[in-house]
Chain A
Amino acid sequence: AQSVTQPDIHITVSEGASLELRCNYSYGATPYLFWYVQSPGQGLQLLLKYFSGDTLVQGIKGFEAEFKRSQSSFNLRKPSVHWSDAAEYFCAVGAGDSNYQLIWGAGTKLIIKP
């Protein structure tokens, strides 16, 4: 069955430190991969996406993610976090053209220590 796993429910990082949020997926074909961010009381905002091509993708707010097919992973990274990055982050997998459904991870809540 298709699934997305975000192993960390919470992550605490000091402001200015680097960040890596993990995402693993189980999917039969080449997936479309997404990271979204949700600030408290808000909807989800698309950070970045991978459809094909270069496996290292750049997103908004200084985030990047790397698709590793051999590890079925799409981890999100940022070299130096800011207090405004405190939010919940969701990884999602999509089938592409003929399927409108995304499979969602449970989310990772990022806490920033001053």
Chain B
Amino acid sequence: ETGVTQTPRHLVMGMTNKKSLKCEQHLGHNAMYWYKQSAKKPLELMFVYNFKEQTENNSVPSRFSPECPNSSHLFLHLHTLQPEDSALYLCASSREGQSEQYFGPGTRLTVT
């Protein structure tokens, strides 16, 4: 595998479910990101991890819980989501100290 991979690619969940999104990067990068992409809105940065430490949390509701066990893996744990949380969730990575980010294909999440 090369680049940034994300699983699952599609997810449908009810508001009472708990699920997790997974991201893995094979680029040797140290920083990883979660973004939310909704229709007709700019890309929203949710979380940033640098060397496994969370460096940014852009006022994301607590129903989204990130986890970064090592520099290659990033998870987004989801619980009691709302229909407005339906969106494309994108993972990205970069080398430390550089803004150039590489993206995975995203997980299309639908909350019913």
Contacts and interface: CB of A to CB of B under 8 A. Distances in A.
Q: Are these two chains actual partners, yes or no?
A: yes
Interface of A: 32, 34, 36, 41-46, 49, 90, 94-102, 104-107
A96 B95 CA distance: 11
A105 B42 CA distance: 6
Nearest to B105: A43
17 contacts: A32-B100, A41-B105, A43-B6, A43-B90, A43-B104, A43-B105, A44-B90, A46-B101, A46-B102, A90-B43, A94-B99, A96-B98, A97-B97, A97-B98, A101-B45, A101-B56, A107-B42
Given A104-B43, A106-B41, A106-B42, A43 B97 contact: no
B31 interface: yes
Interface string B54-86: 011000000000000000000000000000000
Interface of B: 4, 6, 31, 33, 40-43, 45, 48, 50, 55-56, 90, 92, 94, 97-106, 108
B94 A44 contact: no
A100 B56 contact: yes
Chain B facing A: main interface SS = strand
A45 B105 CA distance: 9
Contacts of A42: 105-106
B99 A100 contact: yes
Q: 5 closest pairs, A vs B, by CB?
A: A94-B99, A43-B103, A44-B103, A104-B43, A97-B97
A103 to B, nearest CB: 9
Nearest to A95: B99
Given A90-B43, A107-B42, A49 B100 contact: yes
Given A41-B108, A43-B4, A102 B103 contact: no
B100 A46 contact: yes
Contacts of B40: 106
B36 to A, nearest CB: 12
